[in-house]
Chain A
Amino acid sequence: MNIELILFGAFALLTLLSAGTVIFARSPINSAMALVSTFFFMAGIYVLLWAHTVAVMQVLVYAGAIMVLFLFVIMLLNLGESSTRGKPTVARVAGGAATVGLFAVLAIILLKLPAEPATLSTGAQASFGTIATMGQVIFTQWLFPFEAVSLLLLVAMVGAVVVAKSRI
């Protein structure tokens, strides 16, 4: 029993618990805070996978930026207790089906993985997952997707203004 496995178990359990709270909490603000802790524990799992950069980005972008917007919306719209026990609508059925489909895809991929677990100390090189290595890959090999991201972000900015236009 090595320490990495124990840590993985702990992080995985906490991630699952937080994720469960996101779904089952009645108050949307509790759900949002549970999602923040889900992201935080997932960052821990990324560290165990030796993906340092992804781990810190997880905290910086997801927990530190995107969830702030979520919290903002929930706090300021003054949403009450959720009414998840309502009757099924088209959106709910479609969402449920999409979730089951995604779960199935992930399950198939997981089952195809080799059964032998790779350990950190032997499997990965020292430079794997570092910010320098990641930069080399993004700015040479994945140049086009990187530039495309800027267009996506531009659309997001313009979209925000268009949606809120009448109130600004």
Chain B
Amino acid sequence: MSRVLTILVAMFTIVFLMAGGMASAYLVGGLVEEHWFTGASRLTNVLFLVLIFVMVIATLLTMAERKWSAFIQDRMGPNRARIALPGLKNRSLGGLPHILTDVLKMLTKEDLIPAAANRFMFNLGPILAFAPTFALFAVVPAGPSVQVFGRNVDMVVATPDFGALYVLAIASLAVYGTALAGWASNNKFGLLGGVRATSQMIAYEVALGLSLVGIFLTFSSVQFPAIIGDIGNALTGGTGQGRYLWRTDGAFDLGLPAWGIFIQPLGFLLFFAASFAETKRAPFDLPEGESEIIGYFVEYSGMKFGLFMISEFVEVVVLAGVTTAFFFGGYHLPFGNEWLANLPIMQEHGWLLGTILGTVFWLKVLFLIWVQLLIRWTFPRFRYDQIQSLGWKILLPLGLVNIFVTGALVLWDPSLRALAVLGIAEIGILVVLTTTTKVPAGGAHGAHAGHGHDHGHGHAHGGHGAHDLPAHAHGAAPASTH
């Protein structure tokens, strides 16, 4: 009973902290808009969204990952670090003090550079790995644009014309960090990891780009604000993902929102799999397979290694944010969205609406991060040939098919309802296949992962992936060296 209570209190605290963060982001944004210059709230958004929300979640994620892995593997997880203060001495606090000790440890390690390494490129590697991932979140809106103190406050850092292409362009630069790190270390494991990372990242970048085209053409835009859309009312309806495909009449709106997951389920699966591969986490952790080649960062120590590690966690957060914005309606509620936005108190105090919807956005992000942790710790690693086959032979053709099927349906029925019918049928088929298909004993387990956003969907596709591979396939290492 007390365990349930602890969990409830912890969850309430998290929601409360996020709501507090969003409320201060909106209020500070309104203040600087009023007293500084128009557009100044964008600069405070850099502080709140990129530096506070993304970085704090990424830091906490280092511990959440270890705790979840422990939970899944029936262990206790890290609990030894304690804070020597009265009342806290005997509490493990869910492992939180370990974050502090980890950071201190990394900061005080000796900075080793191997004699054979290329010093300049060795130092450049972690910089090029961290900087692009850190800058990725800049175009993702975390909340609606509302009036605060009579000024318009957007909860996004930048809205350039190319919108989502910024994410793809900057993410493609992260390849250099891993490639250079592996090469400059002048270490066989490192080089192998770097080559694998580069080859894997470019294979999945194509699928990543193609999987989003369906969303772009449905909403006729590449910009996040247009794709997420605005909230309307019963008469006008919303735009983008803020509108309903079907809805009930009445003051409280209930219906099927035009979220990406309903109109582009295949696009979602492709995007999630491809972006998962971009984060280089299991089941796509070939570049850093701890048990065989350690990774492209094998020669790095201290905070240089820390940069590689934290950029992986930042990528997880950004991936969850981008997926939320494209496929889970961004900051919109699944129902009651218009009712909430048109309440008199919300109309009067815009920051209140912003805080609620912003918290909704971060809750969705946390949910998707949790899904990623589950996948990370339940699926075994792919073999290298499976990684390449999945990228080029499955995701790429499926991505192309998805674009043209989506395009035909959008032209045939611009209200997107035909697309939603197909999408829901696809989801239904996946669910039925998942619940009825039995995994053959001794089947190629490695091919399962990466397709689905949960265990079940992975199985539905997994059998398909395994067919394309020879049964006598060898391990990964012989395939990648010569």
The answer to whether A binds B is yes
Residue with the highest number of chain B CB atoms closer than 10 Å, among A30, A55, A64, A72: A64
**B44 contacts the other chain (Cβ, under 8 Å)?**
no
| Interface contact A72-B198, CB-CB below 8 Å | yes
**B173 contacts the other chain (Cβ, under 8 Å)?**
yes
Contact of B176 among A27, A33, A76, A130 (CB under 8 A): A33
Which residues from chain B contact A64 at a C-beta distance below 8 Å? 169, 172-173, 175, 205
| Interface contact A68-B162, CB-CB below 8 Å | no
| Interface contact A59-B179, CB-CB below 8 Å | no
Please name the residue on chain A nearest to B179 by beta carbon. A71
Contact of B175 among A52, A68, A76 (CB under 8 A): A68
Which residues, 400 to 419 on B, are CB-close (under 8 Å) to A? none
Which residues from chain B contact A45 at a C-beta distance below 8 Å? none
A1-38 CB mask vs B (1 if < 8 Å, else 0) is 00000000000000000000000000101100100100
| Interface contact A56-B173, CB-CB below 8 Å | no
Please name the residue on chain A nearest to B172 by beta carbon. A64
Which residues from chain B contact A131 at a C-beta distance below 8 Å? 161-162, 165, 222
| Interface contact A68-B202, CB-CB below 8 Å | yes
| Interface contact B198-A53, CB-CB below 8 Å | no
| Interface contact B124-A33, CB-CB below 8 Å | yes
**B166 contacts the other chain (Cβ, under 8 Å)?**
yes
| Interface contact B173-A53, CB-CB below 8 Å | no
**A120 contacts the other chain (Cβ, under 8 Å)?**
no
State in angstroms the CA–CA spacing of A15 and B198 once bound together: 26
Which residues, 62 to 79 on A, are CB-close (under 8 Å) to B? 63-65, 68, 71-72, 75-76
Asked, given contacts A71-B179, A75-B179, whether A65 binds B172 with beta carbons under 8 Å apart, the answer is yes
| Interface contact B124-A60, CB-CB below 8 Å | no
| Interface contact B162-A52, CB-CB below 8 Å | yes
Contact of B161 among A52, A60, A71 (CB under 8 A): A52
State in angstroms the CA–CA spacing of A53 and B160 once bound together: 10
Number of chain A interface residues as a range = 20 to 34
Which residues, 147 to 206 on B, are CB-close (under 8 Å) to A? 160-162, 165-166, 168-170, 172-173, 175-176, 179-180, 183, 191, 194-195, 198, 202, 205
Which residues from chain B contact A75 at a C-beta distance below 8 Å? 179, 183, 191, 194-195
**B254 contacts the other chain (Cβ, under 8 Å)?**
no
| Interface contact B168-A71, CB-CB below 8 Å | no
| Interface contact B173-A59, CB-CB below 8 Å | yes
State in angstroms the CA–CA spacing of A59 and B173 once bound together: 8
Which residues from chain A contact B179 at a C-beta distance below 8 Å? 68, 71-72, 75
Which residues from chain A contact B198 at a C-beta distance below 8 Å? 68, 71-72
The minimal Cβ–Cβ distance linking A48 to chain B, given in whole angstroms, is 13
**B121 contacts the other chain (Cβ, under 8 Å)?**
yes
Which residues from chain B contact A27 at a C-beta distance below 8 Å? 118
| Interface contact A29-B160, CB-CB below 8 Å | no
The minimal Cβ–Cβ distance linking A38 to chain B, given in whole angstroms, is 14
Q: Which 6 A-B pairs have the closest CB atoms?
A: A64-B172, A56-B162, A60-B169, A52-B161, A59-B169, A75-B183
Given contacts A56-B166, A63-B173, A64-B205, 11 further A-B contacts (CB under 8 A): A36-B176, A52-B162, A63-B172, A64-B172, A65-B202, A68-B202, A71-B176, A71-B179, A75-B183, A75-B195, A131-B161
Q: List 22 contacting pairs A-B, 8 Å CB cutoff, sorted by A.
A: A27-B118, A33-B121, A33-B124, A33-B180, A56-B160, A56-B162, A56-B165, A59-B170, A59-B173, A63-B172, A64-B173, A68-B176, A68-B198, A71-B176, A71-B180, A75-B183, A75-B191, A75-B194, A129-B161, A130-B161, A131-B161, A131-B162
